[in-house]
Amino acid sequence: MVTYSKLKTDEVALIKSMLQRGVKQKLIAKMFCVSEMQITRIKRGDNWQEVVAIDQENSTSTEKKIKAN
């Protein structure tokens, strides 16, 4: 199956983790270059429902890696 998503599975897991920690959707959208609506859909479970948020211990190091890119 070919997909053309801007986001990768690990990024969506990080987004879900950030949402759980209370990071603003607008900030997340800017960080990942997607719309706020896409973040809302991820939060509601409309999109990417099969992806689980990453645990808090690993999320900080993963965030740093993504920001560095």
What pLDDT was estimated at residue 27? 97
Assigned domain for 4 exists? no
Assigned domain for 52 exists? yes
Q: How far apart are CA 59 and CA 18, in angstroms?
A: 8
What pLDDT was estimated at residue 52? 94
- Residues whose CB is less than 8 angstroms from the CB of residue 1 and which lie 6 or more positions away in sequence, other chains included: none
Assigned domain for 22 exists? yes
What pLDDT was estimated at residue 31? 95
Assigned domain for 56 exists? yes
User: Which among 39, 32, 41 is positioned nearest to 62, based on CA atoms?
Assistant: 32
User: Which range marks the domain in which residue 19 is found?
Assistant: 9-68
Assigned domain for 1 exists? no
What pLDDT was estimated at residue 5? 78
Residues of the chain with pLDDT under 50: none
Assigned domain for 2 exists? no
| Domains: count for the chain | 1
